Amino acid sequence: LAHNKLAPKPQRTFPFDVWYGYHFDSVLLGQYLHKKALERGVKYTKCHVTGVQLNERGDIASVSIKDSEPVKADIFVDCTGFAGILIQQALGTPFVSFSNNLFNDAAIAMPTPIGDEIPSQTISTALKHGWRWKIPLTSRYGNGYVYSSAFCSA
């Protein structure tokens, strides 16, 4: 099927309306969603969070940021990564690890050029300490290696 650039058709009906999936270029998708959010009145602030103020119900009322006045909003998205300044530190929501259930706990990803012809399949390959993927997108390949940090490092 892959050699002839064909997609498989299942012999049975799946319990959902759409039985196929798509790969999205996460960079382009992020840029698109950012643009659409701004068009709809969402205010985006790139900043360094220095503190969080909660209201009497324990919800986030405002966020203090470096070199500016505190920001008040109806909703905040915690983009502070593993620091979890809003969700973990301010709201006290603990990080729940699934490390006991995951053989692979780390990944690296990198784009590569795709060329003129775009393949119709994703390639997943088992390796000694994990597995790698090669996903064709319209403008590039998305490549990565998922592995166990107990047995190797990036």
Q: pLDDT tens for residues 71-88?
A: 999 999 898 888 999 999
pTM: 0.60
Backbone φ and ψ of 62, nearest 5° = -160, 165
Long-range contacts for 112-116 (Cβ within 8 Å, ≥24 apart)? 112/140, 112/141, 112/143, 113/140, 113/141, 114/138, 114/139, 114/140, 114/141
List the pLDDT tens digit at each of the 154 positions of the chain: 667 766 666 666 667 777 667 778 888 899 999 999 999 999 888 889 999 999 999 999 999 999 999 999 999 989 888 899 999 999 999 988 888 888 888 999 999 999 888 888 899 999 988 999 999 988 899 999 999 888 888 7
